[in-house]
Each structure stands twice: as structure tokens, then as C-alpha cells.
A and B are shown apart, each in its own frame.
Chain A
Amino acid sequence: MTRLLAAGLCLFALVLVPLTALAQATQEDPAWQALLDKANGQTVYFHAWGGEPRINAYIQWAAREVARDYGVRVIHVKVSDTATVVSQVLSEKSVGKASGGAVDLIWINGENFASMKENELLAAPGWAETLPNWAYVDVENKPTVLVDFTVPTDGQESPWGMAKLVFMHDSARLETPPASLDELLAYATANPGRFAYPQPPNFYGTTFLKQVLAGTVANAELLSKPVDKAQFEEAVAPLFAYLDKLHPQLWREGQAFPKNASHMRQLLADGELDIAFSFNPGDASGAIANGELPPTVRTFVFEGGTIGNTHFVAIPFNSSAQEGAQVFANFLLSPMAQTRKQEPEIWGDPTVLDVAGLPANEKALFDTMDLGPAILSPEDLGPVLPEPHPSWVKALEEAWVQRYGAE
């Protein structure tokens, strides 16, 4: 009798499984509803870089929205370096804390993501692609939403914004900015002490190295693969030849460097530098609106393109509020949140969504936006150069420190 009952139950389950799978695919999505129910009342500790008050204010706004609409409380933990969060999750793993971790959501990309993925510090794959707003993401024209510094995201991080290296100059002092690496070197030589880049391993400093590397390397295919020790020296030889010529002309003759992109932008505002750069094409417009840069600052890029990537949010394996974190990630992807984020006075960070494919009302939000005086149109922004494999970051940083960081 019991055996019969068990068999019957098995049969019942066999019928039920495909049924639920089918239900998940429909518009109503009870799975998402169940997740919303679970998320209600959760507190999400969102660890994100806190050096930019405008971004902090945006995160606070988003937190208010999800608290009101979904009952999810989001607390922005302001960090000065995302790598500290990675080591924090690692510390928790090393003492066996498999649940109830301190970090629920991280603002992340690149080598930090690669490191977390490799050390199995992330929540199970796939969640990002099950978010309802994933449907709007521009997978086709923005391939970096799926491949983060050549590492597949596997749905372990949800895209938040697009980044592309742009340069800024004060048109009151420098009318025609250099259009290539060679022109940049010529400009620096003619005007010593007026160009600088943040000191690697700062993220922006390393990005500048990657930009020069992409512009000078003989065989660009090497960059998409893990660093090969045998070929590294040869690949970076032109990069360092360029830097050897550039460094004596740098700000403080290369004896001191800006600490980060914000410091570099501050030096541009102070008139110490003529050229600075940013990963956010709307940065200059936003900074002008906030009185952080003179109104004469403009944006430019190099011929042949600049490095671009996507930044994401990821959930650690031991997050204590996985559902709440997903609800917040989904909200960050919503057309409303993405338009607000792109407004220069709010933040100016480009969207990851496929604007053309949005419903008419949402599309209008993007179309009517005033992007400010210092932003380049998509055509003028030029092609996107892909990020090299994350292993290049470490190798470049080490080679740089060996050469310039320890005199």
C-alpha cells in the first residue's frame, strides 16, 4: 500500500515539474512573485564605492524607491576600494560562514569579479538573467553585459551601467585636444607638467596603461587571452617605450601621481592639469552642473577608439538577503532607474538597456533627456576597444611598479 502511494506520488511529481517550469515562463511569473514575497522585509547591505556624493545620492534615491514599493531596505555601505569587499567575503568563507554574510550586494566588475568567481565567492549562476527587467538589456549591441573583461558573467552579476574611457580638457586653456597617443605625447612634451594619470594599481591608471597597450601592441589578439609569460615582454615593449618618453614630461615629472580619477579631475579643476580622463562619458557635464569643473571643460576621445566596459552588481554566496538583493538589482535595471541614472545632473552614467526596443513611454524618457554641454554624441564617442583578459591587469601593474613605482 505504501509502495503504491509512493509510486503515485512520484508520478504526480513527474507531471508537476514540467508544469511549474511552464508557469515560470509565463508573464505572471509566480516564481518572481514568490521571490518578492520573500524579499519583503529584508535588509540589503549594498557595498559600493562611496567617493562620489552624486552617486551616493542616486543610490539613496533607489533605496527609498524599493523600500516603498517592495518593502526591501537597502543600506549603502560606502567603500573606498571594492577589493576590500572581496577580501571581506573571503575572510567569511575562510572561517566557514556559509550564510548570514555581511555583504548582500556588491558594485563590481573586472578583476574583482574574476577573483570572486574563481574563488567561488558568488551566488549560484543564472540569477541575473531571470530578473524581469533583463528582457530590456541590450545583449546584442553591448556585448560587455555578458562578458566582463573577457570572463563570461554566467548570470552571476547583473549589469548596471556602461563605461567608456573619455578624456576631458579645459577649452579655455587647450583649444584643440590631442587626437591620438602620439599627439598626446607631443602635447605633453610641449607643455611639461600638465598631463598625469592616476598611479597604477589604481583602476584608472591601469586603464590608461591598457589604452596605451591597445594602441601600441603589435598583435592585439594576445590581449583577449590570459597573459603568456613568454610573449608578455615583447607585447608590452612599445607600451613602456612610450611611457619612458612620456614620464619626464608628466605632472611632477612622474615622481608623484594623482591618487584616482576624482583627484585627477580635481587637479584639472585646480588648473594643475590640462587633460584628465574618466570612465563616464557624462562625468564632465555632471561635474560642471555641480560646480566641480569650470563650464569650459569639454570631452574628447582618441581616433581608433577607447577602452569600454560594463559595471555590474553581484551577490556573494553567503548573502543574508539574496531575494532582496535580486529585487534591488532588478529595480536598478528598470527603465525609470536607468533614465534617472543617465541624467548628467544626477549621475550621467550610460544605460545598459536597448533604448530602441523599449516600450514607447519608457523610450520617451531617454529621448527627451538634456545631456549637458560636455557630452559627446554616440557617433562622436567612437568605437569601443574591448578590455584585455583580467590576468593582464596584474601583469601590467607589476611591470609598472617594477619600472616606475620604486625608484
Chain B
Amino acid sequence: MPSEVDRLSQGTRLRVDAPTILVTVLLAGPVLAGLAGTALPAFGYLPALGYGQFSFAPFQQLFEAPGLVTSALLSLSTGLTASLLSLAIVLIFTAGWSGTQTFRRLTRFLSPLLSVPHAAAAIGLAFLIAPSGFVVRLVSPWATGWTRPPDILILNDPYGMAMTFGLVAKEVPFLFLMTLAALNRPRTEDFFKAGAGLGYGRMATFFKIVLPQVYPMIRLPILAVVAYSTSVVDVATILGPTTPPPLAPRLVAWMNDPDLTERLMASAGALLQLAVTLSALVIYLCLEKLARVLAHRQYQSGHRFRQEGFSRFFSLLPMLLIIIVMVLSLCLLVIWSAAKSWWFPAVLPQAWSLSKMVDAVQMGSGSLAATLFLAVVSALLATSLTLWLLEARSHRNLAVNKRLKSYIFLPLLVPQIAFLFGLQMLFLLFGLSGTLLAVLLSHLIFVFPYAFLALSDPWDQLDPRYARAARSIGAPRAKVFWKIQLPLLLRPVLVTIAVAAAVSVGQYLPTLMIGAGRIVTITTESVALASGGNRQFASLYALLQLIVPLMGFLLAALVPSLVHRNRAAMRLGK
């Protein structure tokens, strides 16, 4: 074993190791290169189209687009509202119910919901709440007197409420699981006990004592949610307003306009999108500061808030609503996938057909194979890379510092649209566009940060004394990793692979743009089918989209109990 002095000097000499360099190049590189490829056309430079002069014309054209301000404000407001609402729902629910039986039961529901891709969730939600949807059918015509669907604006409302709700339903499970992971640290229980001992109510304990410890760990995921929600394309297309739409879907439309000069304007718009997302992040950070100041006053006030039955009850309601809505939406996808005809106001389909299911699976086998390949390979790569990075950093006694973290999370904090266009050009230049390899790389950019998010906490919590003990009896570094660290982390590693695979399956824009249409996945297929008129096929593909991540989570739950079947302590662990 090298002496302490040796290790320290090595650490200071070699601050940068291979995995750190690789991760930085792999994640920050494409984002920055892609941004440059977007910025040049935004300032009028796109030689291929004969624009060799820098100018502000694209921006002038952009600001002349009707309703541009409304679009930008819509993106900002829906994204921010959805993020804040999701956060509030998660925190209030956790405060009121963490540690109870109800909490554990609902947790079991929420984890699989995380694997539902955004597009599939939005399609299901639309079936549920549309004026001709399931809810209205349930109460019509016997209670409402409606023999025809009412002409009420529910979906695509101009204020983006349906879209906000769709985003909330999708972000709550994500934020909840992140909070859960953060709560899963040693000594959290003690904080709850200390609060109770001091006579604070359950919710007051959470907000005054536990949250300040936990919040730094969920901060990055929250920022990622803000960035995502302000620039989302698929949910906005299905549930969002259209007169005018939010900024992101408009950008996609401009980029795809047959009038090729609109590309310059689209690039300028991508920079505006970047500004919108940045402002949303800044607003969030300001709110965070404000909350901190207000909270400090509360901490010092010493109020115990012991009468909390009422607020605990209300903290449960939004969470229950979201779970019910999501589960119902998914059930509707299942019903529609077997329904041939289903006319209003029938609650169940009039004609069923299973033959289309067979057709869909047959027609979709190629895209299913591509989806599986991309999901499995990118998940394995991202997880191994994360483990390599974490092992190398902890071996050198280097924490993953802020700068490295910001590189890792860059792809989640910069709107996809803002750099994918430039990235597409880059892949074309290298002759990689439309290859499986290029799509795999583009998936990895988005999959890796989530893998890191899922695995870095469990790694940090691993008691370093196990490794130290093994090293002290002469085990080499590799053996320590394979025989001690990896088996101890089997469950979180498998969950990470499942999360990473789910993220890969959900990628729509990168697959479409980098894959040049040649790489077809279940997700690109289902968005194309969602633009068509056959709900049975649209639902079938949305369901296929679900199956891959669900299988992953199932394996992640089953494998450890099988491997550890004769190790009681490992089974009891989280």
C-alpha cells in the first residue's frame, strides 16, 4: 500500500485523470461545439446557403415574428410554474408523510411512473381529460346530459394550463425519487427524532431541520427540471397552446420550414430559448434566496406547529391526484391499444381488435431492436463510465468538485434545441450522421448525467472503511472494486442502469436529428404515429415505449434479491 505522503503528492501532481478528461470531452465538448454551430447561423453566417456575412438580420426577422413575446413568456411561465409546483408537491408530501406506511406504499407507485416517457404520458393524459375523453364519458350523458362532447377548451388552452399539468405529472416522480435518494443518507432518521424530541410537528421538523440538509442534494435535479420544462417540445406539442405555441415547438417548426432561410431565424430563436431558460434559472435562484431569508426568520421564531392534521391531509391530496391521473392515463393507453372503435359517449370500446397488436409488434420489431440496443449499450457505458470516474476520483481522494459537476450537468441545463442543430452539422462533417454510433454518442450525452445523478450519492455513502480494510490486507485496487465495492453497490448500480436506459428510450430530438431518420426507435415511431389518426397504433407504440424501461426497473428489483438471497443483511439494506 502506498504511503499517505505518496498518495497526497500523486494527488496534487495529477489533478486530472483519464476518466475526468473523457467525461469532460464527452459531455461539455458536444454542447459547446453544438452551441457554436447554432450561434454562427444566428448571426447570419451559413456559407452553405450563401450567407457569408455576419449580420443581425436573423434577429430582426425573429423579433418581427408575430406573437414572439407571448411565446417566450409562455415558455418561461409554464416551465417555471410546473417546476415550482412539482417541487412544492414533493416537499409538502415528503414533509407530511415520510416514514409512514402510506409513504412507503405510494413510493412503490411513483418509481415505475418515472420510467414513463414524456410523450407517452402526454398522449395518455390527453385521452383522459379531453372533452371527448374518459372523464367526460364516465359522467355522460346520465349526469351531464351531454350526448355529444361539450365544446370546452381543456387541451391546448392559451395559458398552457394543460401543458403545465402534464409537466407536473411527469416531473413529480422524478423530483420525488431524487428527494428519496437524498433522504436515504445515514443519520436522516436522527434529525427527525431530534425534531420530534424538541416538540416540533412532523412537517415543521422536515422544513426546519431535515430540508436544509437535504436541499443541496436535490438542487441540481431541480435546476435540470427548470431547464427541461422551459424548453420542452413533445409535451408542448401534444398539450400546449397553439395560438401562439411556446417558443421551443415554434423553433422546431422554423428549423423544418421548407423555406430554408428560416433556419437562420431558427438559430437566432435557439439563442433566445437559451436566454429564456437562463432567465428561468436566475428567477429560480432568486426565489431560492428569498425563501432562505424567510426561512431563517422561521427557524429563529421557534414555532412548533404541532396542530398539523389538516395540513398533512392536504399535503397528500396533490400527490394522490397525480398518481391516480397517471395510472388512469396508462390504463387508457392499454384499453385504446386493443380498441378498434370507441365512439362517444361509450365508457368502453364498442369493437375490440387484437390483430393490430400483432401487426404493430411485427412492424415495430426493427425499431424495438434499435431502441433496446441503444438503451442497453448507452446505459451500460454511462454506468461503467460513472463508476470509473467515481472510483478514480475517490482513489485519489478527490471529491467531485463543482466545476466537474457543472460540466457533467451542462447537457441538462442547456436546452437541447440550442445545441442539437449545431451538433448535427458536426456529425455530418465527420461523416457520422445517420449511423448507430452517432446516435449512441448523442444519447450518451444525455444519459450520462442521469447515471451520475443516480449513482454518485450511493457511492459517497459507501463506508470507505470497507475498501481501506481490504487494502490493508493486501487486496489490489481492482480486486477491491470488483469484490467489495461493486457487490455492495449492486442494487444502486442496477437502478442506475435502469434509469439510464429509461432516459435513452425517451430521447426524441437527438435520435431524430442525429439519426438523420435512418435510426428509428420506438419513440420516433410513436411521435410520428401520434400525428396520425389511428389511436390504437399510437397507444400501442406508447406502450411499447414503456416496456423497455419497465423491464429494466423490474430486473433492478429482482436481481439483487436473487444474488443476495443468502445474505440477510444485504436484503434488509435499501
Chain A residues within 8 Å of B, Cβ to Cβ = 45, 47, 49-53, 56-57, 60, 75, 77-81, 83-88, 90-95, 97, 102-103, 111-112, 114-115, 119, 173, 192-194, 199, 201, 251-257, 259-263, 265-267, 269-272, 287, 290-292, 294, 394, 401-402, 404-407
Contacts and interface: CB of A to CB of B under 8 A. Distances in A.
Contacts of A77: 517-518, 520
B428 A92 contact: yes
16 contacts: A78-B524, A78-B528, A79-B528, A80-B528, A91-B433, A93-B48, A252-B156, A256-B241, A261-B533, A270-B343, A290-B340, A291-B341, A292-B533, A401-B67, A404-B243, A405-B242
Given A52-B533, A92-B428, A111 B525 contact: no
A77 B67 CA distance: 34
B491 interface: no
A290 B537 CA distance: 12
Contact of B532 (A51, A93, A97): A51
A9 to B, nearest CB: 40
Nearest to A390: B258
B258 A192 contact: no
B67 A94 contact: no
A103 B517 contact: yes
Contact of A272 (B151, B356, B535): B151
Contacts of B157: 255-256
Interface centre among A88, A93, A173, A192 (most CB of B within 10 A): A88
A87 B260 contact: yes
Given A50-B528, A193-B151, 5 more contacts: A52-B533, A102-B517, A255-B157, A271-B344, A290-B534
A390 to B, nearest CB: 9
Nearest to B426: A95
Contacts of A94: 46-49, 425
B518 A95 contact: no
Interface in B12-54: 46-49
Contacts of A267: 132
A256 B155 contact: yes
Interface centre among A77, A86, A92 (most CB of B within 10 A): A77
B449 to A, nearest CB: 27
A114 B130 CA distance: 38
B351 interface: yes
B153 A252 contact: yes
B532 A53 contact: yes
Contacts of B11: none
Given A79-B528, A85-B517, A291-B353, A270 B344 contact: yes
A295 B518 CA distance: 38
B533 A287 contact: yes
Contact of B531 (A90, A193, A262, A291): A262
Contacts of B340: 290-291
Contacts of A56: 363
Nearest to A82: B258
A222 B411 CA distance: 50
A394 B259 contact: yes
Contact of A269 (B343, B356, B359): B343
Contacts of A402: 66
A382 to B, nearest CB: 25
Given A45-B518, A84-B256, A88-B516, A257 B242 contact: yes
B532 A262 contact: yes
Given A87-B260, A193-B151, A50 B525 contact: yes
A51 B533 contact: yes
B363 A60 contact: yes
Nearest to B429: A95
B458 to A, nearest CB: 39
Contacts of B428: 91-92, 95, 97
A56 B534 CA distance: 12
A294 B153 contact: no
B144 interface: no
Nearest to A259: B531
B527 interface: yes
B149 A57 contact: no
Contacts of B155: 256
A373 B38 CA distance: 52
A30 B431 CA distance: 36
Interface of B: 46-49, 66-68, 70, 131-132, 148-149, 151, 153, 155-158, 237, 241-244, 253, 255-260, 263, 340-341, 343-344, 351, 353, 356, 359, 363, 424-425, 428-429, 431, 433-434, 512, 516-518, 520, 524-525, 527-529, 531-535, 537
Contact of B434 (A87, A102, A261): A102
Given A50-B525, A95-B428, A292-B534, A111 B149 contact: no
Contacts of A401: 66-67, 244
A271 B343 contact: yes
A345 to B, nearest CB: 13
B330 to A, nearest CB: 20
Contact of B149 (A47, A263, A265, A271): A271
Given A83-B258, A199-B242, A260 B531 contact: yes
A207 to B, nearest CB: 15
Contact of A257 (B49, B243, B424, B532): B243
A270 B149 contact: yes
A98 to B, nearest CB: 12
B539 to A, nearest CB: 12
Contacts of A173: 148
Contact of A79 (B158, B259, B517): B517
A94 B46 CA distance: 8
- A-B complex: 3 closest residue pairs judged by Cβ atoms: A406-B67, A94-B48, A51-B532
A45 B151 CA distance: 43
A328 to B, nearest CB: 17
Nearest to B352: A291
A376 to B, nearest CB: 20
Nearest to A103: B517
A405 B244 contact: yes
A87 B263 contact: yes
B518 A87 contact: no
B368 to A, nearest CB: 14
Contact of B425 (A50, A79, A91, A292): A91
A199 B243 contact: yes
A400 to B, nearest CB: 10
A391 to B, nearest CB: 10
A319 to B, nearest CB: 13
Contacts of B433: 91-92, 102
A236 B350 CA distance: 45
A399 B529 CA distance: 30
A47 B517 contact: yes
Contacts of B343: 269-271, 294
A80 B537 CA distance: 15
A119 B46 CA distance: 14
A47 B434 CA distance: 13
A92 to B, nearest CB: 6
A270 B528 contact: no
A47 to B, nearest CB: 6
Contact of A405 (B243, B344, B356, B525): B243
A134 B471 CA distance: 79
A97 B431 CA distance: 9
B132 A102 contact: no
Contacts of A50: 525, 528-529, 532
